[in-house]
Amino acid sequence: MSEKSKLLWRCRRGVKELDVLFTRFVESSYDNLSDSEKKAFDKLLEIEDPEILGFMLHNIIPDDADVAKIVEKIHTGI
């Protein structure tokens, strides 16, 4: 299994909207991220879905500045 396939598997969530959002982000933008941004995305994937939903709906700002930056990139589609 390729590294990208493993990442896409990790993007599968219990909430379909997050599946779609993360999968699109990985396919369109992940390869252009810096190593630190990739690590931040990995941290984001470790967080529970309800909290991630709060980030994605702009209700919660992540405490971790790196995670906050990657959430913003996902919001803007970069």
User: Would you say the C-alpha torsion 51, 52, 54, 55 has a positive or negative sign?
Assistant: positive
Give the global pTM. Answer: 0.91
Closest CA to 23 of 32, 33, 14, 13: 13
Domains of the chain: 3-76 (1.10.150.250)
| pLDDT tier, 78 (very low <50, low <70, confident <90, very high otherwise) | low
Q: Tens of pLDDT along 28-73?
A: 999 999 999 999 999 999 999 999 999 999 889 999 999 999 999 9
